[in-house]
Amino acid sequence: MKREEKASVSIMKIICVSIILILISGIGVMAVNTNLKDVKIILQNGYELTVLTSKATVSEILQDNNIILEENQKITPDLDEEISAGNIIRIVDKSYNEVQIAKVSESGVETTLEQLLESYTPITEKIVVEQIAIPYETITKNSTGTTTDTTNKIVQEGQDGIKEITYKIKYQNEIEVEKIKLLEVVVKEPVNKIVQVNKTVTSRSKTTSRALPSTTASTSSAGEIYKITAYCSCAKCCGKTNGITAMGTHATSGRTVAASSKFALGTKLNINGHTYTVEDRGGAITGNKIDIYVNSHAEALAWGVRYLPVSVAK
């Protein structure tokens, strides 16, 4: 009997120890589960990732999931903020945040970046190659003729050149938010149009006439002859679409022209009898070239290239 009692006591001890160990393990598991929380991470490209973590701050959660921020990225909440269960961590493009904050500041609406990001949609980037025509120039050559009549003879037909411009464009909600020029290459050089003018001028004393030397910019009684082209506020003409001139004004058809630095901004020019104001500049506007602003790209193409008298309005 004593042996049976001892065996029974030993079994009871084993059972008690097992129960205690099970309880301790359960408490440990409950403690671990208490510290775990689910957090959603939304990456810049829109991909959503839900993680189960015991980490406290944003930076610890990112490090725990091997997520590294790039220089052009911003995160919300801040890296040192603590995160509770069910919170969202967003990684966005810095430029997008700056644009949105600027818009809110201008409008005077009180809001937070957190509220702005609630309606955030991913920014997509595209590489776009645009082809732009390089207008040819018309060169006039004078030569001595045999009559008093003027005869124009086309020695060489003109051909527009072509240049390719490569842009990196960012879109937000299918709206262009940023456009950066990466590369500009001339694919085809323009071929100038050459016109030969034969003219003989006689006088009563029957002196021999002489042809005037050839120049690309001649003068007339109404002013110096300039090469006049046209442009609008589209990306093809200006590389931007806001219509703001170098003078800070809004480009206006019938008033605004782009000229070289030989004319100060604000100078009034008489072009073929109409008064314009120099309000803009352009990389291709040098020497005796002037660009007149029009309302549309179709009007700019229809204008083409013209040679008109230009003088400073008094």
Per-residue model confidence (pLDDT) at position 208: 39
Q: What is the pLDDT of residues 273-294, one digit of tens each?
A: 899 999 998 888 888 899 999 9
Compare 108 and 133 and report the one with higher pLDDT: 133
Per-residue model confidence (pLDDT) at position 272: 84
In the CATH scheme, what architecture does the domain 37-120 have? Answer: Roll (3.10)
Q: What is the pLDDT of residues 151-176, one digit of tens each?
A: 677 888 888 889 999 999 988 777 88
In CATH, the number for domain 122-214 is 2.20.230.30
Per-residue model confidence (pLDDT) at position 4: 61
Q: Which residues of 295-305 are buried (b: 16+ CB within 10 A; e: fewer)?
A: eebeebeeeeb
Q: What is the pLDDT of residues 210-249, one digit of tens each?
A: 433 333 444 445 678 899 999 998 888 887 888 899 899 9
Alpha carbon distances (Å) from 242 to 78, 127, 257: 34, 21, 16
Q: What is the dihedral of CA 116, 121, 122, 126, to 10 degrees?
A: -110
Rounded distance, CA 47 to CA 265, Å?
A: 50
pTM equals 0.34
Question: Which sequence spans correspond to the domains of the chain?
Answer: 37-120, 122-214, 217-314
For residue 291, list its beta bridge partners: 229, 258
Per-residue model confidence (pLDDT) at position 38: 87
In CATH, the number for domain 217-314 is 2.40.40.10
